[in-house]
Chains A and B, each alone.
Chain A
Amino acid sequence: MTTSESTQQPHSQAQERVYLHPVPVRIWHWVNALGFLLLILTGFQIRYVDLFSLMSFETAVHLHNWVGFAVIANWFLWFFYYISSDKITNYHADLDARNFFKRYFDQAQYYSFGIFKGEKRPHNVNPHDKFNPMQKLTYQFVMFITAPVTFFTGLMMWDVARFQSLISMVGGIRVVNTIHVLMFILFVFFIFLHAYMGMLGPKPSSHYREMFTGWEEPHE
């Protein structure tokens, strides 16, 4: 996806609409969304087999493993797309920390009050800087720390015998599982927030539609 392509705009709404989400990103996003929901569901079944019986423990483990591998593969789709594209700027760290956290605070203030008062969004999106500071920090944390840590710990638990020496280095299978579950808890919290904040667009369904069409919908 080139810069010219990503900034192309439909004739009637040339000023408002921006092509934010290229096809690979949208595929990655929805595969990831489905994958995470399945992982959370099967994760609940594995951890709370005495409380839930949506499926057998055995089925839950097998499904969890297969979906886990799919989500790991999907992460690489995301990684290689961004690393080979000029859109990687979306994930670049802001070197001016003072400025970044000022904008972070402005964004938090907007979500807390400004959004209800009809104030203008503090962050102007464009294909190379589509995340506001709150989104950027969250997604950097999720994609570069939470997800890889979850993948590594999940891999270790997928075949404990194979990764035994690595598991011992970390401190044992219980340590590995505790880290995995802490990541799981973070993802559960993230999913709630992510789903809700996706409704804070011009219309509650706007951001959801954007993730299907790729085009940002106009803000008033």
Chain B
Amino acid sequence: MKSGIKTGILLVAIALLGMAPAIGLADHHEEVSNPDLKCLKCHSKNLKKKLEDGEKMSLRIEVEEFGSSVHKVIGCTGCHRDVAKGKHPSKQPIASRRAYSLKHNQTCSQCHEAAHESYRNSVHASMVEHGDDNAPLCSDCHSAHAIQSRVAYEPVNGEPCSRCHTKINEAFEQSIHGLARSEGNLIRGDHVQAPSCTGCHNSHDISAVTDTDYLVPTCISCHEVAELAHEQWLPNAGMHLKSVGCAACHSPQAELRVDLQLYDRLRQAPVRQNENNGTVQETLAAIDTNGDGLDPVELWKLVRQINDQEEVSDITLLGRLEVTNSVDAHRLAASTEAVRSCESCHRSDAEPFQNVTVSLSRKDGRKESFKADRKVLASAMSVDSVGGFYAPGGTRIKLLDGLLVLAILGGLAVPVVHISLGKILRKKKQPDNS
């Protein structure tokens, strides 16, 4: 009997000891379900797992974070289904932290199908697909266990985008949009909310710059009167809105360039590196042998060669005047500060025409630029290769200047020669008459 009482006391003691952590957790996070408390019993401790790449991955879950996450309702096994089968994966090897995150990227799609589909079409997913280990996965933006509601991801302070795009976010915060968010919209009124990152770039289907029309339609979707306003003073407004990025004028301190994008007219898309043309760098190196940037003849050869590499293609160069870097693209100013002087771009010595690049899309969709000689914009050789870009005055062809000078000199020479001839002939005639 005595031993029975002792055994009973021991079992109660063991049970109480076993429950102690769970009771402690439950005290602080009453909403965490019992099954999850079982997981957290171990995972609230500083457990670590040695990965195949040698790194030790922490298995600790911040109870407070998980308790306040929106995912607490689905519980641990909502995502970690392999545990639900009663097979705790503690013995299963994990190659690396990245590999584990990649595996769980698919887990999210089981519930968030639409968002994941959008993500799959994004430049981020494309970077993942092409092996970029810095490309963001679901958990990089949303965290693994502290997942918040949609409202929390409205990137008021640049989060989560600013974790990778830090400098861009700093520029944005000082821009007209950033200041309107932080200090109030003084121009359009506080009832109009200035865009955050997702306002222009979307949250999941984020496009590469080369695959978009440089967000001009996005800008116009809020600035509805922009087209009309430009048409009222800007000659060829439609063409300008197409071939000049908004930031080129509306980010007045930005460094500018002309980018000649290799573009496939048949596919209506930028040339993207693939198995057939994957040697663009080699082609470039073979053409630009001295590495000083593509000159007009070299550029002409490049377009020819890429056309030859592609089985069915019509490759051309689409010219565009744009800001040199993406940080400047976010330094947007008030419209009163925008560049309005035509001369700033239509002079042959204008800044954008001194900095010329040729670009194409990498396999992951991001832009890859190569230096080109500024002469490519003013050479007769470029009439064919750079047929799609011309800024009157600014990129005029020097050979035509020479022809114009000849026409003027010829036009002046004809009367001078004719009058002189007349004088000579009249002088000859006079002695005969006498």
Q: Which residues of A contact B386 (CB under 8 A)?
A: 172, 174
Q: Which residues from chain B contact A62 at a C-beta distance below 8 Å?
A: 235
Please measure, in the bound complex, the distance between the C-alpha atom of A181 and the C-alpha atom of B402, giving whole angstroms.
12
CB-CB contacts below 8 Å: B49-84 with A: none
A47 at the interface (CB under 8 A from B): yes
Interface segment out of the listed B121-129, B176-184, B273-281, B346-354 = B346-354
Q: Which listed residue (A50, A112, A116) contacts B347, Cβ 8 A?
A: A50
Residues in A whose Cβ lies below 8 Å from that of B390: 172-174, 177
B136-144, B282-290, B422-430 - the one binding chain A: B422-430
Q: Cβ of A61 < 8 Å from any Cβ of B?
A: yes
Shortest CB distance A108–B (Å): 12
Are B404 and A160 in contact (CB-based, < 8 A)? no
Q: State which of B238, B349, B392, B410 has its C-beta within 8 Å of the C-beta of A47.
A: B392
Stretch at the interface among B157-165, B298-306, B322-330, B412-420: B412-420
Q: Does A193 contact B (CB under 8 A)?
A: yes
Interface hit among B2-10, B203-211, B393-401: B393-401
- Complex CA distance for A115 and B425, rounded to whole angstroms: 10
Q: Within 8 Å CB of A39, what residues of B?
A: none
B389 on interface, CB distance cutoff 8 Å:
yes
Question: In the complex, which range does the number of interface residues on chain A fall in?
Answer: 35 or more
CB closest chain-B residue, reference A59:
B342
Q: From DSSP, what is the main secondary structure of chain B's interface residues?
A: helix
Decide: A48 near B393, CB < 8 A? Known: A116-B421, A185-B407.
Answer: yes
Q: In the complex, are the beta carbons of B238 and A160 less than 8 A apart? A: yes
Residues of A within 8 A of B408 (CB): 188-189, 192
CB of B387 within 8 Å of the partner chain: yes
Question: Judging by beta carbons under 8 Å apart, are A182 and B403 in contact?
Answer: yes
Asked whether any CB of chain B lies closer than 8 Å to the CB of A37, the reply is: no
Q: B316 at the A/B interface (Cβ < 8 Å)?
A: yes
Confirm or deny: B24 has a beta carbon within 8 angstroms of a beta carbon on chain A: no
Task: State whether B426 touches A116 (Cβ < 8 A).
Answer: yes
**CB-defined interface of A165-187 with B at 8 Å, one 1/0 digit per residue?**
00010011111011001101110
Q: Which of A47, A65, A193 has the most C-beta atoms of chain B within 10 angstroms of its own C-beta?
A: A47
| Contact (Cβ within 8 A) B387 A182 | no
Whole-angstrom distance between the Cβ of B241 and the nearest chain A Cβ:
8
CB distance from B426 to the nearest CB of A (A): 6
Check if B30 is an interface residue, CB within 8 A of chain A. no
On B, residues with C-beta under 8 Å from A are 233, 235-236, 238-239, 242, 265, 316, 342-343, 346-349, 382-384, 386-390, 392-393, 396-397, 400, 403-404, 407-408, 410-412, 414-415, 418, 421-422, 425-426, 429
**Chain A residues with a Cβ under 8 A of chain B:** 46-50, 56-58, 61-62, 65, 111-113, 115-117, 157-162, 168, 171-175, 177-178, 181-182, 184-186, 188-189, 191-193, 196
Q: List 10 A-B contacts (CB under 8 A).
A: A57-B393, A61-B235, A116-B429, A172-B388, A173-B387, A175-B384, A185-B403, A188-B404, A189-B408, A192-B410
